[in-house]
Copies of this chain bind each other. A is one copy, B any other.
Amino acid sequence: MTTTGLKTLVLELRKFAKDRDWEQFHSPKNLSMALSAEAGELLEHFQWLSEPESSRLDESKKLEVSFEMADILLYLVRLADVLEIDLIDASLKKISLNQKKYPIALSKGTNKKYTGLK
């Protein structure tokens, strides 16, 4: 498994920040805020849509949504770089944890939080 996709983004973003002397603004605190603000912009696209409507976006809306998602990924990747966190590795570990937290037999077809499973 390689992670060239994310690695390319890491390098592009490093250069982007360095070229603009923006490393001074990229504290984890600030990056977490920027990421969360972008997550808010993503929400905004869906807030008045029904669930089925949210599944069938027209092309122009889908493009806008894809750029909001890109913004989130870019801040996430930049934050991971600054904190020296391996995103893919952490994600695989998290999937593993979730498999234990939500055993198939107990969680099948229910939207209950793991604390409510029995």
Residues of A within 8 A of B (CB): 1-6, 8-9, 12-13, 16, 19-22, 24-25, 27-30, 32-52, 54-55, 57, 62, 65-67, 69-74, 76-77, 79-80, 82-83, 85-88, 90-95, 97-99, 102, 104, 107-109, 111
Contact = CB atoms under 8 A, between A and B. Distances in A.
A78 to B, nearest CB: 11
Nearest to A41: B40
Oligomer: number of copies: 4
Given A8-B1, A85-B66, A87-B69, A36 B42 contact: yes
A13 to B, nearest CB: 7
A108 B50 CA distance: 17
Contact of A42 (B35, B94, B109): B35
B47 A74 contact: no
Contacts of A27: 51-52, 54-55
B46 A67 contact: no
